[in-house]
Amino acid sequence: MGILNRLDQLQLLVVTGKGGVGKSTVTAALGAHLANRGRKVLLIEVDPRENLHQLLDTPPSGGEIVEAAANLWIQHIDPRELLDDLVREKLKVGALVRKVLASPVHLHFTEGAPGLKQTAVFGRALRMVEGHGPKELRRPDVVILDAPASGHGIAWMAAPQLVSEVISSGPIGKMAAEIATFLADRERFGSIVVTTAEEMPVQEVLELLDAMSTRLDRRPELVVVNSIYPKAPEAHATDDDATRLWIRRRQVNEAELARLAAEFDGPVAEIPLEPIDAGPALVGVVGEHLTDAFEDG
């Protein structure tokens, strides 16, 4: 199955990768691409530094679902608020809710329990694709989660399973188990890994591929290798420093692409480094490169 058919089928996609490699740019470009194909797309951003709206030229979400273009919505989510909502929803008695929310134990638990925030974010995404969204967007066809760079992508993808193992009973345990089942469903959930063709980010991708295959028995649907230097001229002894730098960076990019290809035989989209600042213009050009890559693959 081609990569586009695969992406068209999925209801939830998570975009992960090391800090600054281009996750948000790729999320915005991919979202616009799928929206153009007629799918209703919701992009969820978790990073406290909200920036998807700048990339799509819309006002900030401030927690609301904002329509950025036809078929394309964005929402900024604070995982702490989600967890508080969860307490409110699961414990319906007002006084009890207030007590739990105010208690240092709740704070300590929600800040300290590994995987709980990630689980809550996935839980929200799942509710949306199951048709329980607010009236602005009752049921997106696909939710794309722009995961924050902190920690490896595996910390996101394996979180619900971890939580369901630790908290095996009660409403939170039940929710985590449902989400873990959803994330294990190849027909519905997939991941996209973004990297640059540099040593450290590629190393992290290789580790992620390994962790995904051993812990989840899965691999990403797509690896996006972003910000690749243009093809360099032949090296000459007379080259100036800038040319030598260019040739060298391009060599590193090619070596790292080869290192990745040796470990990953799935779809790879290569995106060049563009002389364009962050914003809608860059998102548009990255989207064109993605489209080309999808047509080739």
Ligand X SMILES: Nc1ncnc2c1ncn2[C@@H]1O[C@H](COP(=O)(O)OP(=O)(O)OP(=O)(O)O)[C@@H](O)[C@H]1O
Residues of the shown chain interacting with Mg ion in the complex, contacts defined by CB under 5 A: 23-24
Asked if residue 274 binds ligand X (CB under 6 A), the reply is: yes
Residue 271: partners with Cβ closer than 8 Å, 6 or more residues away:
22, 26, 224, 225, 226, 227, 228, 286, 289, 290, 293
By beta-carbon proximity to Mg ion, the closer residue of 45 and 221 is 45
Q: Name the residue with the smallest CB distance to Mg ion.
A: 24
Cα separation, 231 vs 158, whole angstroms = 38
Asked if residue 47 binds ligand X (CB under 6 A), the reply is: yes
Assess contact for 25 and 52: CB atoms under 8 A. no
Site string for ligand X, 14-43 (x = CB under 6 A): ---x-xxxxxxx------------------
Q: Which does 278 bind (CB under 5 to 8 A by kind): ligand X, Mg ion, none?
A: ligand X
Structure-derived torsion over alpha carbons of residues 271, 24, 117, 64, reported in degrees to the nearest 10: -150
HSE-CB at 118 with a 13 A cutoff on CA atoms is 27
Q: Which does 178 bind (CB under 5 to 8 A by kind): ligand X, Mg ion, none?
A: none
Selected from 91, 97, 113, 149, the binder of ligand X by CB under 6 A is 149
Site string for ligand X, 213-252 (x = CB under 6 A): -------------xx-------------------------
Q: Name the residue with the smallest CB distance to ligand X.
A: 278
Cα separation, 185 vs 170, whole angstroms = 23
- From residue 234, alpha-carbon distances to 176, 250, 253, 283 in Å are 55, 11, 16, 31
Selected from 83, 86, 286, 293, the binder of ligand X by CB under 6 A is 286
Assigned token pair, 278: 């962050």
Cα separation, 153 vs 48, whole angstroms = 18
Which residues sit opposite 74 in a β-bridge?
Answer: 43, 66
Asked if residue 270 binds ligand X (CB under 6 A), the reply is: no
CB of 46 to Mg ion, least distance (A): 9
Residue for token pair 């450290």: 200
By beta-carbon proximity to Mg ion, the closer residue of 43 and 269 is 43
Asked if residue 155 binds ligand X (CB under 6 A), the reply is: no
Asked if residue 115 binds ligand X (CB under 6 A), the reply is: no
Q: Which does 43 bind (CB under 5 to 8 A by kind): Mg ion, ligand X, none?
A: none
Q: Which does 79 bind (CB under 5 to 8 A by kind): ligand X, Mg ion, none?
A: none
Asked if residue 278 binds ligand X (CB under 6 A), the reply is: yes
Q: Which does 62 bind (CB under 5 to 8 A by kind): Mg ion, ligand X, none?
A: none
Cα separation, 258 vs 277, whole angstroms = 28
What is the total count of residues that contact ligand X (CB under 6 A)? 18
By beta-carbon proximity to Mg ion, the closer residue of 24 and 161 is 24
Cα separation, 24 vs 21, whole angstroms = 9
CB of 151 to ligand X, least distance (A): 12
Task: Cite the beta strand spans of 59-212 per DSSP E.
Answer: 65-69, 72-76, 142-146, 189-196
Query: Footprint of ligand X on this chain (CB under 6 A)?
Result: 17, 19-25, 47, 149, 226-227, 271, 273-274, 278, 282, 286
